[in-house]
Structure 1
Amino acid sequence: MRLPKAPVAGETVSGGVFDPGPGGKGSNQAIAAARLGAEVALLTAVGDDDFGRAARELWRAEGVDAGQVVTAQAPTMVGFILVEPSGENRIAIAPGALDALDAAAVEGFRAEIAAADLLVVSMEIPEAAVVAALRTGRETGTRTVLNPAPARPLPDDCWPLIDVIMPNQTEAPVLLGLTDGHGLGDEDLVRALRERTGGAAILTRGGAGALIAEDSGLTHVPPHPAGTVVDTTGAGDSFTAALAVALAEGRPLKEAAAFAAAAGAHTVTIAGVVPALPTRDQLAARMGNTS
């Protein structure tokens, strides 16, 4: 819902415009990666309801392999997104069917993980499924990327299973178990994340670009010009998917992050999520025109 402003506690704000549409971080990222040319297999869970059936039809239309998607007894996940005129958003989620995902469901997805160039895991699914997926990636030799959203502290045995972790500025302190007012700057945060994983860390910073921490040191990735910001919903998913596609193509992390920044910049200029996810041609056109 697009609103003149987000309500505060006890306040009712009128004048909203409602626009229903598909979402979910894993689904968004799968569709975005497919639009950029990747072969994508998705593991998630939906309910036996209209939303679940619509999701399966969407994945079919977008070329996403959803053959392993679980049908649960609970309703399909829904999210409520409030978008202000600035494009900033607030999101509340009812996980529903996603809570049915567990380690056993991930084990059924082992062959797909083993065959993949890259495994991307987001955290709208239960912790047991997150850890099982990352461990399966490590066991099968598939490079792992964790998009830690919504953020929550990670169990200690999970960190070494991550090759690339990519939180934003709000999520990073939560992952590290830090309290408000922790006093760490962005460079300290991204270094701490890299030290925990032993791999690489990317801290996304919105209009300030991104920071990458690798064994070789820190790299700043400048923001890609976006023009008029309409809706920031889905920008993180677009960034994640584009980064994954570029890494799967063998690009170095800095180049992949620049590609991802362009994808995120495209997404914020269009209302909604799925309509805003770029195709390969759209992204190429944007990267050729940075003015």
Structure 2
Amino acid sequence: MIHTWLSPAKINLFLYVTGIRSDGYHYIQSLFQFLNYGDTLTIIPNKKGTIELFTENNSLLNVKNSIIVAAELLKEKAFYSSGKESSHFGAEIFLNKKIPIGSGLGGGSSNAATTLVVLNNLWKTKFTLKELATLSLKIGSDIPAFIMGNTTIVEGIGEILHPINREEKWYLIVYPNIPMLTKNIFSNYSIKKNAKKKPIDFLLKSQFHNDFENIVKKKFKKIKKIISMLSLYAPSRITGTGSCIFSEFDDKKSAQKIYSLLPHNVQGFIAKSVNISPLHRAFYKRNMQFF
């Protein structure tokens, strides 16, 4: 049976930089919240040993796409650990892209995570989620959180996860049609002298903030204007190191009311937060094993 899988978006309810490694990677503390909205992936295994990606967005059809990189990485690990012929590990992957690129919603990381989790099941490679999460750090630091699939506090460079439960809220997500590259935003950030890791309880009780927001607002007046407008109605800030702005509401009706006030030159959608990733919910519903 062919299944289609949701590759969910995330928002960073807060994001703080706590240091920098000698290799340029930044240490962070962030709260990852999944949304019931995202891309979809249809993955069909084959015995040809080829991995092919199909999507209407031609800019995504290159060997550096996170989906292809993730599939090839899992294939390599599976080949050496199982002794099976490499032709056993093939797939056609169909991507329906809804998460804007460079938005801070984690689309590329989510796609890679969904690819790893689903192919691990279809190929019967039987790696645990923790093993997949460790493997995924070779691709990107946000991917482990998507693989483990819970609302979580992320620390280190993305490898330290502290799952938590939060009250599920409704969010208005606004994309101002400005794609951003994470490396460009990080390159403009200067580590604060007093930056240091804080206790999780302290972070959860404090007012949430994103350390990159002032940089983004200074560089993009359009984003600053949208945040100012939305903040009149609800707590609003950027997510991750992207250009998307989110506003938090207690109910869908309130989010819809503010959504109707948005200018015509921006995109937006409304989504509910979930404590368990929709990808994981689908596995539970279909009685499929993660291994």
Please tell me the TM-score bracket, short chain as reference.
Answer: under 0.3
Higher relative contact order (CA 8 A, sep 6+): 2
TM-score (norm 1): 0.25
Write 1 or 2 for the structure with the bigger share of strand: 2
